[in-house]
């Protein structure tokens, strides 16, 4: 079975683009894609023109490039990521980090399930199946323990046994690593899915939800400042990694992930009535985010694509609410025993723990980009611009409005709020 996630695109690619292009144009395009793919690993006479083009698109200075050590480190990560990940985990991911991260996930899963009966737009049949999907959710935290076991030199050696590197040819090693990776992927064709496989390296600052495995994955790399700190107060950690956990969990129930059931099968497990209610509520987010804009050069204003970004927006909004409720329940139940760390931070006595939860949520998406890059991202990225990932979510958050006492009808507390999960 071949899953085509965007059939309309494939159809239009054929009828509106390929049929209207000459064979020479198509060949030239493929040649350019080949050059673009390999340019970073080739000599300066090829690399420099591509860098100038990229700089023009992003509005940066073509003369400012990555230092050579960083380029080489990126290549190690791309070619021998699990091997490099072993040393990262040994140095940075120790102690109780994994145990605490597991606890965060469990608490947010519980909030998600406990809140389902409050969602009147979901009928009992769909609600029961949603609970089953959360119960079946597979959690991977830190690093893989199989295929390969990052903590086992023997397992790593077996995993990379057919990747033979040469000490004196950077480009040959570049090609070998790509070839090895493609061969490894083709070996999986026709076999049962290997659910122990990770799609990210342990050192990556990222996370993902995989619908066909119904799994959420948090590499060790994201379990660090500003997302997570083993000594951080809980209100910061829940405002950071807690929101990320809720985000990935909610992806299982966004406009795409909801089509996969508890076993990762692409089937219709929602009733027609609940599906219709979902679409109606999701449209609120499409309309809201489509009104957000970014500013380009010469006063150009580009709107966020509310349809393109819908899945990520639903995950951002759901993750924020789930993380806040999970932390607040823990915090309110712990006023006497002080089992959890919610110590106040020196110099921030003017902010409550509730407010600092949201402050850290804003902090994790702090970023800076050129106007060209902002426009390019708004046009192509399935994520909303960082500013709107934060402001869009808090506009819909009743908790945020209460904590900061935002008057109704203001930008941060509009009268109409979008809500799903």
Which domains does the chain possess? 96-143+198-421 (3.40.390.10)
- Once rounded to an integer, what is the mean pLDDT over residues 20-41? 92
User: How would you classify the pairing of strands 215-219 and 293-295?
Assistant: unpaired
Q: State the average pLDDT over residues 281-299.
A: 95
- Res. 298 pLDDT band, cuts 50 70 90: confident
* Predicted pLDDT of residue 1: 65
Distance of CA 55 to the CA centre of its chain: 25
In degrees and rounded to multiples of 5, residue 96 shows phi and psi of -100, 15
Return the higher-pLDDT residue of 288 and 13.
Answer: 288
Query: What confidence tens digit (pLDDT) does each residue in 181-205 have?
Result: 999 999 998 899 899 999 999 999 9
What is the DSSP track for 3-17? --S-HHHHHHIIIII
102 is catalytic: no
Tell me the per-residue pLDDT of 76-87, one tens digit each, with 9 for 90 and over. Answer: 999 999 999 999
pLDDT at residue number 63:
85
Catalytic residue among 109, 204, 261, 316: 316
pLDDT score at 117? 95
CB 151 within 8 A of CB 208: no
On the question of pLDDT at 93 being above 80, the answer is yes
pLDDT of residue 65: 83
**pLDDT attached to residue 99:** 82
Strand order in the sheet with 215-219: 138-142, 215-219, 208-210
Separate counts of helices (H) and strands (E) for the chain = 17, 5
Q: 210 has which bridge partners? A: 215
* Bridge partner residues of 107 (DSSP): none
Per the CB < 8 A criterion, the answer to whether 222 and 228 are in contact is yes
Q: How confident is the model at residue 277 (pLDDT cuts 50, 70, 90)?
A: very high
∠ CA 136-313-391 to the nearest 5 degrees? 130
Active site residue 45: no
What whole-number distance in Å separates Cα of residue 102 and Cα of residue 328?
A: 18
- The residue-averaged pLDDT of 293-307 equals 93
Cis peptide before 148 (omega within 30 of 0): yes
pLDDT grade for 421, boundaries at 50, 70 and 90: very high
Residues with Cβ within 8 Å of 163's Cβ and at least 6 positions away in sequence, in order, are 79, 80, 176, 177, 180
C-alpha distances in Å from residue 308, one per residue of 128, 286, 287, 337, 371: 29, 9, 12, 46, 20
- The span from the CA of 210 to the CA of 219, in Å, is 14
Active-site pick, 234, 248, 312, 354: 248
Q: Average pLDDT of the chain? A: 93
pLDDT of residue 61: 87
Residue 139 pLDDT greater than 80, yes or no? yes
pLDDT at 97 over 80: no
Q: How does pLDDT run across 219-229, given as a tens digit for each residue?
A: 999 999 999 98
208 — phi, psi (to 5°)?
-155, 160
pLDDT at 105 over 80: yes
Q: What is the average pLDDT across 373-395?
A: 95
Task: Report DSSP state, residue 22.
Answer: -
- The structure's pTM equals 0.90
Share of the chain above pLDDT 90, in %: 77
pLDDT, position 243: 97
Helices marked H in 291-370: 310-332, 353-364
CB 210 within 8 A of CB 260: no
Of residues 228, 226, 209, 225, the one with CA closest to residue 312: 209
Mean pLDDT of 45-74: 88
């Amino acid at each position: 079975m071949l899953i085509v996630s965007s059939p309309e695109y494939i159809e239009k690619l054929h009828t509106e683009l390929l049929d209207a292009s000459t064979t020479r144009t198509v060949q030239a395009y493929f040649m350019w894609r080949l050059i673009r793919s390999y340019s970073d690993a080739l000599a300066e006479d090829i690399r420099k023109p591509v860098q100038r083009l990229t700089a023009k698109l992003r509005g940066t200075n073509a003369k400012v490039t990555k230092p050579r050590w960083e380029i080489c480190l990126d290549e190690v990560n791309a070619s021998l990521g699990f091997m490099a990940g072993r040393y990262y985990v040994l140095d940075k991911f120790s102690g109780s980090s994994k145990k605490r991260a597991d606890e965060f996930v469990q608490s947010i899963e519980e909030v998600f399930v406990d809140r389902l009966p409050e969602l009147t737009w979901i009928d009992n049949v769909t609600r029961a199946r949603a609970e089953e999907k959360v119960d079946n959710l597979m959690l991977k935290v830190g690093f893989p323990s199989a295929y390969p076991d990052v903590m086992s030199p023997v397992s790593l050696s077996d995993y990379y046994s057919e990747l033979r590197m040469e000490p004196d040819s950077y480009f040959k090693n570049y090609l070998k690593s790509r070839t090895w990776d493609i061969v490894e992927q083709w070996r999986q064709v026709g076999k049962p899915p290997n659910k122990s496989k990770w799609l990210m390296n342990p050192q990556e600052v990222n996370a993902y939800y995989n619908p066909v495995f119904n799994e959420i994955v948090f590499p060790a790399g994201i379990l660090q400042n500003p997302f997570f700190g083993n000594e951080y107060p809980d209100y910061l950690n829940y405002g950071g990694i807690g929101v990320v956990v809720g985000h990935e969990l909610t992806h299982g129930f966004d406009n795409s992930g909801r089509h996969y059931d508890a076993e990762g099968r692409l089937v219709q497990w929602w009733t027609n009535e609940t599906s219709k209610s979902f679409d109606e509520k999701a449209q609120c987010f499409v309309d809201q985010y489509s009104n957000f804009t970014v500013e380009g050069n010469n006063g150009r204003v580009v709107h966020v694509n509310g349809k393109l970004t819908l899945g990520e927006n639903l995950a951002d909004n759901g993750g924020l609410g789930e993380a806040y409720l999970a932390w607040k329940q823990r915090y309110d139940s712990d006023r006497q025993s002080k089992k959890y760390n919610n110590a106040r931070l020196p110099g921030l006595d003017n902010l409550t723990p509730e407010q600092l939860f949201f402050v850290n949520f804003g902090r994790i998406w702090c970023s800076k980009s050129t106007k060209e890059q902002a426009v390019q991202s708004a046009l192509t990225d399935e994520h909303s611009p960082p500013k709107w990932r934060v402001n869009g979510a808090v506009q819909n958050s009743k908790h945020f409005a209460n904590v900061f006492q935002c008057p109704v009808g203001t930008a941060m507390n509009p009268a109409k709020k979008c809500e799903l999960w």
